[in-house]
Amino acid sequence: MIETAETAKKLHSCAKRWLGFFLLWGTATLFAAPRAVNFPEVSPPTHDIRMENRVPVQMRDGTVLYADVYRPVKDGKYPVIVSRTPYGVELTYAAPVFFARRGYVFVWQDVRGRFESEGKWDPFRQEDLDGFDTIEWAARQPWSNGKVGMQGKSYLGHVQWQAAKTLPPHLVTIFPDVAPTSIYHHAVTLNGGWRLSLAFGWGAVRAESRIGQNPGVYSQETGLEHLSYDQIVWHLPLIEMPKLAGRNSAFYTEWIRHPDYDDYWKAISVEEHYAKLSLPAHTFGGWFDILTQGTINGYVGMAQRGKTVEARQGSQMVIGPWGHGPSQKFGDLDFGPQAMVDVRALELRWFDYWLKGIENGLRDTPPVTLFVMGANRWRYENEYPIARTNYREMYLHSAGKANSVRGDGRLSWSAPLESPPDVFLYDPRSPVPSLGGSNCCGTPTIVGPVDQRSIESREDVLVYTSDVLGEPVEVTGPVKLVLHAASDAPDTDFVAKLVDVYPDGRAINVAEGILRARHREGIDRPKLMEPGRIYSFSIDLVATSNMFEKGHRIQLDVTSSHFPQFDRNPNTGEPFGLSSKLRTATQTVHHSPAYPSHLLLPVIPASGEPAQRP
C-alpha cells in the first residue's frame, strides 16, 4: 500500500529504472498498437531505446517542469514529439515507447503543478507559454534535429493548440486528438448550457485529485462518507458542490462566476487565432465525443483561415462513430470492425511526413475522413462541410398534442399550415434524465447512441416523427434546429435530439444540442426573456453523419432538460450558479406559417460521388 506521495514517487522512479532496462533490450514491441482496419498499418520498430527519468525543463519564470525523455540508443539527431499531461507521466508508457522505437525522441512532461512538476495547477490557463518554452527547450537539445511535433488526446490536445497559438519557431505540426479549441464552447458549456457533469465531475473532483476518476467522494467538512455523484449533482447552489465532494476548487468557482464568453475564457480560446497559424494540424474525434465541435473547428479553422497554404491544404481530420476514443461498439450499436482506427498508425504516418520528410502518400489522401453511421462505412472528402450538401428544412407539425411518443407530432419536408402550438411543463425538480449523447470524463452517465424510448414516454418531451422513408437519406454535416417558442419564465433551456427510428421501434439518438435562452443573441450577450413573447431560437446540434435507411424514420425530440450532463435551468433568471431557487416553466412551441419551426439538415445527394481514398 502506498502511504505517502514521497513513497509513491520513489516506487514510480524504481519502476521507471526497470522499464528502462527492458527498453534497452528492445522488449518494447509489447506496446505496439493493434492492426488498423482501412487505415495505414504500423511500421515495425527499428530502434532500441533509453529513458531519462525526471529531466528538468525550466520555464521563463524559473518554475521547473519535469519530463521523462525516451530516445533511441544510437547517437544522432532525431525529430522530437512533445506530449504534456496533467494525469502523470506514469499513467502510460505506450506512446513514448511506440515513437521512440521508430526513430523519434519523445518528451513526456507533467504540466505545471501536477505530479513531479513544480508550480501551481490552474487547469487550461498556463499551457501556452509553458508549451512554448518546452518546445524550444526540446529543439535545442543535442539529440534534436530542430523539428518538433506535438501529440496527445483530450487535455493533451488542448495543450497543443495553446502552444501553437504562441508560434514556437521550431513547432512543425500538431495532432490534437479529441480536443477542444475553446474550453468555454466545447467543454464547460454548449451554447450556454452548463455541462454540469464535466465541470463538476472533472473540474471539481478529478482535476483536484492526483489519481483517476473516483466514483465515490468523501467530504471531511460535512462528514458525509461516500457521497455519490448522483446525490451531489442535485445540490444547489452549484457553487457549493465542491464542498460536498471535500474539494476546495478555486478554478471551479471561477468557472461558475464566468457563465458567459468573456475575457476570462477568450484568453484560452484558439478560435480567434487560426489566421496567424502556419502549421498543419490533424484533428481526430468521434461523433459522440463531448469535444466534437473542437475537432471540427480545429480542422475548419486551419483549412479556411490558416496563415499559409501549407496550413490550409495540409491539415486533415478524421471523425468516427465513437465517444472519447475509438471503439467498434458504442452505446447500443455495433458499427462493425471497419469502425476501428489505429490512431498510432495515423499519427506515425503524419509525423513521418512532416517531421522526417518521408513520402508516404499522406498528401494524396483526401483531407477529411468521416464515418457514416447507419451505412457503417467511411466517407473521404476534400472539405468540410461537404461542398455538394443540400441543406433541407424539415418542418415540425402537430395538432397541439406532440407530448411524448404517443402524441401527434410529425416531421415533414412540407411547410406547416395553421395549427395550435405544443405546450409542456418543465419542472427542474423532475428533469429529463440524460440518456445517451456526448459526455465524458465527469459524472458517469449513459453515453453514445442509446434507445430513447424510455424518456420519449414523458409528457415533457415533444416528439416529432417523419413518415417511413421510401429511400435512404444521408445527413452528414452541421445540424441546426430553428425553434419558434415562448416561455412564461425569464430564462430557460431548450434541448433537441435528432433520432433515427428503426423498423423494430428503436429510437437511436445521432445528434443533440441545447440552448440557454438568455444566450439566444450570443454567448457573450446574455439577455433575459420577456415572458410569453415568441422568440426564434437557433439550436446548434453540432454535427453528425448518419444514413437514415429505407424503412427508417427521422425523429426530433424537444424538451428543456438533459440532467446531469447539463445543469437544470432553474427558470428564475437569477445569476448563474448562486441561487437554490427553482420554478416550473410553461413552454410553448409554435409551428405555423408565421412561425415555421424546422430542422435544417445537411443532406448529401445520393448521386454525389465522394473523393476516393488511394
Q: What contacts 463, CB < 8 A, 6 or more positions away?
A: 402, 403, 404, 405, 407, 409, 456, 555, 556, 557
Candidates 83, 117, 154, 404; catalytic one: 154
Q: Which residues contact 263 (CB under 8 A, 6 or more apart)?
A: none
Give me the residues paired with residue 324 across strands.
none
Residue 286: what residue type?
A: G
Q: How many residues does the chain have?
A: 614
Cell readout for 486 is 415562448
DSSP E strands, 218-364: 227-228, 282-286, 316-320, 329-330, 333-334
Question: What are the start-end ranges of the H helices in 199-272?
Answer: 229-232, 241-244, 250-256, 263-266
Q: Is 324 part of the annotated catalytic residue set?
A: yes
Handedness of CA 202, 214, 285, 393 (dihedral sign): negative
Question: What is the dihedral angle through the alpha carbons of 340, 341, 343, 346, rounded to the nearest 10 degrees?
Answer: 170
The dihedral through the CA atoms of 189, 190, 194, 199 has a sign that is: negative
Task: Judge whether 195 and 566 are in contact, CB under 8 Å.
Answer: yes
**Could you confirm whether 154 is annotated as catalytic?**
yes
Rounded Cα distance, 567 and 228, in Å: 17
Given 324, 397, 562, 591, the catalytic residue: 324
Could you tell me whether strands 553-559 and 462-465 are parallel, antiparallel, or unpaired per DSSP bridges? Answer: antiparallel
Told to judge if 504 belongs to the known catalytic residues of this protein, a careful annotator would answer: no
User: Could you write out the DSSP letters of every residue in 547-600?
Assistant: EE-TT-EEEEEEES--BTTSPPP-SS-PPTTS------EEEEEE-SSSS--EEE
Amino acid of residue 134: T
Count Cβ atoms below 10 Å from residue 413 Cβ, excluding itself: 12
Pick the closest to residue 516 from 185, 171, 235 (CA basis): 185
Among the listed residues 275, 271, 236, the one whose alpha carbon sits nearest the alpha carbon of residue 256: 236
Q: Residues 6 or more apart from 44 whose CB is under 8 A from it? A: none
Residue 449 and residue 427 in contact, taking contact as beta carbons nearer than 8 Å: no
Residue type at 143 in one-letter notation = W
Q: Which of 130, 289, 491, 493 is catalytic?
A: 289
Catalytically annotated residues: 154, 289, 324
